[in-house]
A and B are shown apart, each in its own frame.
Chain A
C-alpha cells in the first residue's frame, strides 16, 4: 500500500501494519448509517399492517390517516430530534402548541385582529418560550428535562388561566378565512392534510442545517462532548438557545395548523406530542444521550409511529393494543440502535473500543 506523504512531513512508522485496503460493500455501508435500524422498523410495521389491515390500510383513506398524523408529528419531532442530537430534551412542546393555538384564536378570533397578526403572535409565543427554555438551561445547567417539564406545566397553567380570564371559556372558535384555511388547514383531495407539505419543508430545512452547515457540525459536537465543544470556541449557549427556539416554533406551527384545520383552539390540545416526538426521534435512531442521529431517521421514526397508532384501526385488533406495540417498538428500537451504532463505530476494521464518557 503506497502512502503519499506530504513533502516536508516526516512519516513515522505506523502503529500497526495497515490492513489490506478493503472496499466496503454497499450493504456494509448501509448498516453503518444511523437510520438503518429505523428503516427496518418502518418496513416491518408497514408489512405487518398491510397483512393485518389489508385494503383498509393501504387504501387512500388509510394512507392519509397515518400520513396526516406523521406530518404533524414530524414538524415537531424534527426540531426536537435536532435538540436531542445536541444532548437536550424539550418536554414543553405540548403546552407551547396549546399556548400558540389559543393565542392565535384569541387574537384573531375573540379580538378580531387580522389572521396574520394572530399567526405572528402565535409564533412569538413559541419563540419566547423556546428562548426562555434555552436561556435557563444554558445559564443554570439545570437539566433540560426539568426546565422544560416546568415550562410545560407553567405554560399550561398560564394558557388555561388567561383563556378563562379573557374569553370565559377554554374553547375558542376562529374562522381562518379561505386563504389561511388553504395555507394551513385544508385537506388535499379531501383526505391529505396540507401539513404534509409543511413537514416536507421543515425536513428540508433541518437536513440542510444539520448536514450542510457549520451549525450542524456544532450540534453534533455539543451533543458529543459539551466541554470539548466549548473548548473549540463554539458558541454553545447561542446554539442551544436557537435549538430550543426551533423546537418551540415547530410546536407553534402545528398549533397554527390545528387551529386552521379545526376552526378554533382548545387549551387542552397538544400534550400527546410531548412524548410522541421523543418516541419518534428515538425510534428514528437519535441517541438519547446526544451526539448521534439523522433527519431521514427521524422521518422514518414518525412514519413508524403513525403507522402503528393509526394502522391499528384498520385491523380487527382493538386499538387498545397500539400503545403496547409502540412501547415494545421503542424498546426494540433502542436495542437495535445500539447494535447499529456499534457497527458504525467498528468501521469494519476491528472490534470497537467505545469509551463510556
Chain B
C-alpha cells in the first residue's frame, strides 16, 4: 500500500460551539480516488474548506506526505499542491480561455518596464492542455469561458490544476450540474488524473458516479464519518440507504406502501 498523500486524524471544526464536523479520520493515496459522499449539510463543504485552506480545523491534524500542516489561506493549500475545483468550475465566464487558465500565474515576456502578459503563450498552452483532456471544440484561446459548456468549464479547471502540478485534486460536486454525456466525460478526466498519479478527492451525492471512479469511499452524516470502505465492499443500495440515513428511506417506503394500499 502506498504512503498516503493526505491524512486526516480526528479532524473537527466547530462554529460558535456547534460541531460542523467531528472526528474525521481518512486518507488518500497518490493515484487513488477517494469519494466523499453525503447528503446536503452533512459537512462535505466544511471538510473541503479545511482541505483547501479557507478554514483551519478546531481539532485534529492534517498531514501531507507524513508532515503535519496547518493552512492559513487558500494560498498555503495550493503551495502544498492542493487544488480545489468547485461546482461551477471556479472560472471566469467573461474572460478568455487563455487569460482564465493563467489567472494569478500569468506568463510574461519582455524585460523590466516592458514586461508584459504573454497572451500568445497563454492561449497556446491552455488550448493544448484542453486538447489533452479531450476538449477539441475549443481551438482558440481567445474564446470566452462563458461560451463553454459546464463540462468544458470543469475540464478547463481540472486541466489548469493538473498543469500547475497539483498533487491532490479536490473536486466539489463536479458532475452535479451536468447532463449524462458531460458527466461521463468529467468522470473520464478524473480517471486520467488518477493515472497520472494525482490523488483525487471526489465530492458528490451521486452514488453511481462515485462507484464508477472511486477506489475508496467515505460517507458523512451530520458532520461525522458514518462509514468508510474500499471499492467493492458495499453495494449501491447499501450506500444510498446509508446516505439517506436509512430510516428516512424506510419511512418513505412505508408511506408509499400505505398510499398504494389506499388507492
Chain A positions near chain B (C-beta within 8 angstroms): 1, 3-6, 9-16, 18-19, 21, 208, 211-214, 216-218, 220-221, 224-225, 228-234, 287, 291-292, 341, 344-347, 349, 352-355, 357
Please tell me which one of the listed residues A19, A21, A208, A346 contacts residue B147 in the complex, with CB atoms under 8 A apart.
A346
Specify the main secondary structure of chain A where it touches its partner. Answer: loop
Give CA–CA (A1, B188) in the complex, Å.
22
Residues of B near any A CB (own CB < 8 A): 52, 74-75, 78, 84, 86, 88, 90-95, 99-100, 102-106, 108, 115-117, 128, 131-137, 139, 143-144, 146-152, 181-182, 185, 188-189, 192, 195
A228 close to B131 (CB less than 8 A): no
Considering the complex, give the chain B residue whose CB is closest to the CB of A210. Answer: B117
Report whether B92 and A225 are in contact in the complex, using a CB–CB cutoff of 8 Å.
Answer: yes
Asked if residues B147 and A15 are in contact (CB atoms below 8 Å), the reply is no
Q: How far is the CA of A354 from the CA of B192 in the complex (A)?
A: 28
A220 and B94 contact, CB distance less than 8 A: yes
Question: Are A5 and B99 neighbours in the complex by a CB distance under 8 Å?
Answer: no
Whether B108 lies near A12 (C-beta < 8 A) is no
- CA–CA, A228 and B91, complex, Å: 7
In the complex, residue of chain A having the shortest beta-carbon distance to the beta carbon of B191: A12
Bound Cα distance from A351 to B146, whole angstroms:
11
How far, in Å, is B219 (CB) from chain A's closest CB?
Answer: 27
Enumerate chain B residues within 8 angstroms of A355, measured Cβ to Cβ: 88, 93, 150
Task: With CB as the reference atom, state the residue of chain A lying closest to B184.
Answer: A15
Determine whether the beta carbon of B99 is less than 8 Å from that of A14.
no
Q: With the chains together, A5 CA to B128 CA distance in Å? A: 8
In the complex, A220→B144 CA distance in Å?
A: 12
- A92–B144 alpha-carbon span in the complex (Å): 33
Which chain B positions have C-beta within 8 A of A291?
92-95
Q: Within 8 Å CB of B115, what residues of A?
A: 213
The answer to whether B103 touches A217 (Cβ under 8 A) is yes
By the criterion CB–CB under 8 Å, are A231 and B90 in contact? yes
- Cα–Cα, bound, A18→B131 (Å): 12
| Contact, CB under 8 Å: B74 / A345 | no
- Contact present for B84 and A231 (CB under 8 Å): yes
Contacts of A346 in B (CB 8 A): 147
